[in-house]
């Protein structure tokens, strides 16, 4: 108690005051920045975790922005397709109007043709000028690039979506084990000379008609009569044996299980007995859908049309009528429109869809024809009088545009919007987790601030006392 060289109480008071001042400074920093981790030394482990969470938050936020931008692209695309659809409907009306030849003059038909020419030109112009931030949308630049398609085997090929992953191309192998068939009934013999006159109902996918045959009708007469009304019924006929001019094969024009042929005798006179492929007497038969695989996976078949919709590939092909059982391959070498919808750059968090060109020479297909064939000077212009063919083309094109709009709408509704909702929930949880680690708890920190302030004030007072207490030794010196 009488030693003054080392003021131990003062040293202790200084150390305690230093600790209190350090705590006070830390509390002031946390309250002023709103963060409880301002440097690595504050919480090394917490800093590592929070920085990882911040990176995740940034990636998720950008994925939300990507999805929203994709919605904007689709909205722009569909707006243009809506205008294309309106023009196609106008063309359809003009074709049907021109087909009313008995009440429509040639001058009026020419006027309709001018409107069709203008509408087709407008459709091609829309395909060219529809862009989003410099990206062309409907000129075919977002369609897939195919290589090695054998058009004598595949009449039409359309890739809707494909995921390349780390590959630069995708091989597509079509393996047909059962070719599609038309519905067929056979009338044996050389005609009706032995059967007498007969009335027959011929029915097919398009409709039904009653044909009256005299008893002297030959096989050729029957074939001609059925074919003259094939657009009404969807049924055609041919000689079973052209050499002997005998037998009549009555077939549906379309292929597959939706196609059928029904032949029924009307009344009680005469006979018209038809046989199926097993020579069994029947009145109705149906076609057969093709049975095939694409890249080893079973396909959905509708006559000659095959489709595969998997997580990696969405493709539709139409087999040529001459393609029986066998195999054909082609490759998808590029193209499509890639959308990064997740926070990680992986195939699982990307979507790649194709948008085909809507130029007039691309709308339609090789089976029914193309939209460009409806303009002046082309095979199916109004002056050519092929109103049925022109109508089939415009119906096919309207279906193509409608299906494309439906695909884009489904992509927005079932992929993009749910993706945004899910990512927003993920972002909320990540931000909450990062906040717990890094943000200041003001209730707790203000308590610490008050405590530190009191301790600093107390420490200062104690230090003053400790320094003054050493002066008591002067009493021992008689001072």
**Is 90 exceeded by the pLDDT of residue 50?**
no
Q: Mean pLDDT, to the nearest integer, of 350-367?
A: 92
The predicted pLDDT at position 1 comes to 52
Closest by CA to 420, choosing from 161, 137, 68, 185, is 68
DSSP string, 347-416: GGGEEEE-----STTTSEETTTEEGGGGSTTSTTSGGGT-HHHHHHHHHHHHHHHHHHHHHHHHHIIIII
Query: What are the tens digits of pLDDT across the range 136-175?
Result: 999 999 999 999 999 899 999 999 999 998 888 999 999 9
Q: Which residues of 135-166 are buried (b: 16+ CB within 10 A; e: fewer)?
A: ebbbbbebbbebeeeeeebbbbbbbbbbbbee
**Is 60 exceeded by the pLDDT of residue 479?**
no
Query: What are the tens digits of pLDDT across the range 198-211?
Result: 999 999 999 999 99
Pairing of strands 284-286, 364-365: unpaired
CB atoms closer than 10 angstroms to residue 343: 22
Strongest mean pLDDT among 37-41, 244-248, 441-445: 244-248
Phi and psi at 211, nearest 5°, equal: -115, 140
The overall average pLDDT reported for the chain is: 88
* Structure-token match 């809507």, residue found: 358
Q: Looking at beta carbons, which pairs linking 233-240 to residues 24 or more positions away fall under 8 Å?
A: 233/202, 233/203, 233/204, 233/206, 233/207, 233/208, 233/209, 234/204, 234/205, 234/206, 234/207, 234/259, 235/202, 235/203, 235/204, 235/206, 235/261, 240/186, 240/188
* 285, 260 contact by CB (below 8 A): yes
The predicted pLDDT at position 70 comes to 94
* 377, 147 contact by CB (below 8 A): no
Q: Mean pLDDT, to the nearest integer, of 400-418?
A: 94
The predicted pLDDT at position 130 comes to 94
Please name the residues in contact with 211: beta carbons below 8 A apart, sequence gap of 6 or more.
Answer: 199, 200, 202, 225, 226, 229
Query: What are the tens digits of pLDDT across the range 215-244?
Result: 888 999 999 999 999 989 999 999 999 988
- Interaxial angle between packed helices 44-98 and 417-438, expressed in degrees from 0 to 180 and rounded to the nearest 10: 170
Query: What are the tens digits of pLDDT across the range 347-357?
Result: 889 999 999 99
| Domains in the chain: ranges and CATH | 182-286 (3.30.70)
The residue count of the chain comes to 479
User: Which has more pLDDT, 238 or 476?
Assistant: 238
Cα–Cα distance between 455 and 449 in angstroms, integer?
10
Give 410's pLDDT tier (boundaries 50, 70, 90): very high
Cα–Cα distance between 381 and 34 in angstroms, integer?
74
* Cα within 13 Å of Cα(82), Cβ side: 8
* 368: Cα separation from own chain's centroid: 25
DSSP string, 96-108: HHHT-GGG--HHH
Cα–Cα distance between 211 and 208 in angstroms, integer?
10
Cα–Cα distance between 296 and 174 in angstroms, integer?
8
Phi-psi region of 339 (alpha: psi -120 to 50; beta: other; left: phi over 0): beta
**Is 70 exceeded by the pLDDT of residue 45?**
yes
Q: What is the strand order of the sheet 326-335 is part of?
A: 144-147, 326-335, 170-178, 291-294, 297-298
**Is 90 exceeded by the pLDDT of residue 471?**
no
Cα–Cα distance between 29 and 38 in angstroms, integer?
8
User: Which has more pLDDT, 164 or 1?
Assistant: 164
The predicted pLDDT at position 77 comes to 95
Cα(first)–Cα(last) distance of the chain, in Å? 17
**Is 60 exceeded by the pLDDT of residue 48?**
yes
Percent of residues, the chain, with pLDDT higher than 90: 62
Q: Mean pLDDT, to the nearest integer, of 457-471?
A: 76
Cα–Cα distance between 290 and 323 in angstroms, integer?
11
DSSP string, 71-98: HHHHHHHHHHHHHHHHHHHHHHHHHHHH
* Structure-token match 């094969």, residue found: 249
What is the DSSP code (8-state) at residue 256? S
Closest by CA to 120, choosing from 365, 371, 366, is 371
Identify the three-state secondary structure at position 136. Answer: strand
Please name the residues in contact with 153: beta carbons below 8 A apart, sequence gap of 6 or more.
Answer: 319, 320, 322, 323, 326, 328
Query: What are the tens digits of pLDDT across the range 63-112?
Result: 999 999 999 999 999 999 999 999 999 999 999 999 998 888 888 999 99
Closest by CA to 405, choosing from 80, 93, 129, is 80
The predicted pLDDT at position 158 comes to 92
The predicted pLDDT at position 3 comes to 63
Percent of residues, the chain, with pLDDT higher than 70: 96
């Amino acid at each position: 108690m009488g030693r003054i060289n080392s003021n131990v109480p003062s040293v202790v008071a200084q150390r305690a005051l230093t600790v209190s001042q350090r705590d006070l400074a830390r509390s002031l920093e946390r309250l002023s920045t709103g963060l409880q981790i301002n440097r690595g030394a504050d919480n090394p482990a917490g800093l590592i975790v929070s920085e990882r969470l911040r990176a995740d938050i940034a990636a998720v936020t950008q994925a939300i922005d990507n999805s929203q931008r994709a919605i904007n692209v689709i909205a722009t695309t569909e707006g243009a397709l809506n205008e294309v659809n309106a023009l196609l409907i106008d063309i359809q009306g003009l074709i049907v109007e021109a087909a009313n030849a008995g009440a429509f003059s040639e001058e009026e038909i020419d006027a309709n043709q001018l409107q069709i020419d203008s509408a087709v030109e407008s459709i091609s112009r829309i395909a060219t000028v529809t862009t989003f931030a410099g990206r062309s949308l409907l000129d075919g630049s977002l369609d897939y690039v195919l290589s090695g398609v054998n058009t004598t085997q595949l009449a039409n090929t359309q890739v809707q979506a494909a995921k390349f992953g780390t590959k630069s191309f995708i091989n597509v192998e079509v393996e047909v084990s059962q070719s599609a068939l038309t519905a067929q009934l056979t009338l044996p013999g050389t005609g009706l000379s032995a059967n007498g006159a007969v009335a027959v109902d011929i029915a097919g996918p398009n409709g039904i008609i009653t044909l009256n045959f005299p008893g002297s009708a030959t096989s050729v007469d029957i074939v001609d009569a059925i074919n003259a009304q094939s657009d009404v019924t969807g049924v055609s006929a041919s000689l079973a044996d052209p050499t002997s001019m005998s037998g009549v094969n009555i077939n549906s024009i379309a292929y597959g299980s939706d196609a059928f042929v029904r032949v029924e005798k009307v009344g009680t006179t005469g006979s018209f007995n038809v046989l199926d492929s097993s020579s069994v007497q029947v009145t109705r038969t149906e076609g057969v859908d093709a049975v095939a695989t694409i890249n080893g996976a079973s396909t959905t078949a509708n006559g000659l049309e095959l489709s595969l919709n998997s997580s990696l590939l969405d493709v539709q092909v139409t087999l040529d009528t001459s393609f029986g059982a066998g195999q054909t391959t082609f490759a998808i070498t590029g193209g499509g429109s890639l959308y990064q919808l997740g926070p990680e750059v992986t195939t699982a968090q990307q979507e790649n869809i194709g948008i085909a060109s809507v130029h007039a020479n691309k709308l339609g297909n090789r089976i029914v024809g193309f939209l460009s064939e409806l303009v002046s000077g082309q095979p199916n212009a109004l002056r050519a009088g092929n109103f049925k063919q022109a109508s089939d083309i415009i119906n096919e094109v309207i279906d193509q545009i409608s299906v494309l709009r439906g695909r884009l709408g489904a992509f927005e509704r079932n992929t993009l919007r749910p993706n945004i909702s899910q990512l927003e929930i993920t972002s909320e949880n990540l931000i909450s987790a990062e906040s717990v680690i890094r943000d200041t708890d003001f209730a707790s920190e203000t308590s610490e601030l008050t405590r530190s302030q009191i301790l600093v004030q107390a420490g200062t007072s104690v230090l003053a006392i400790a320094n003054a207490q050493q002066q008591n030794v002067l009493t021992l010196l008689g001072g």
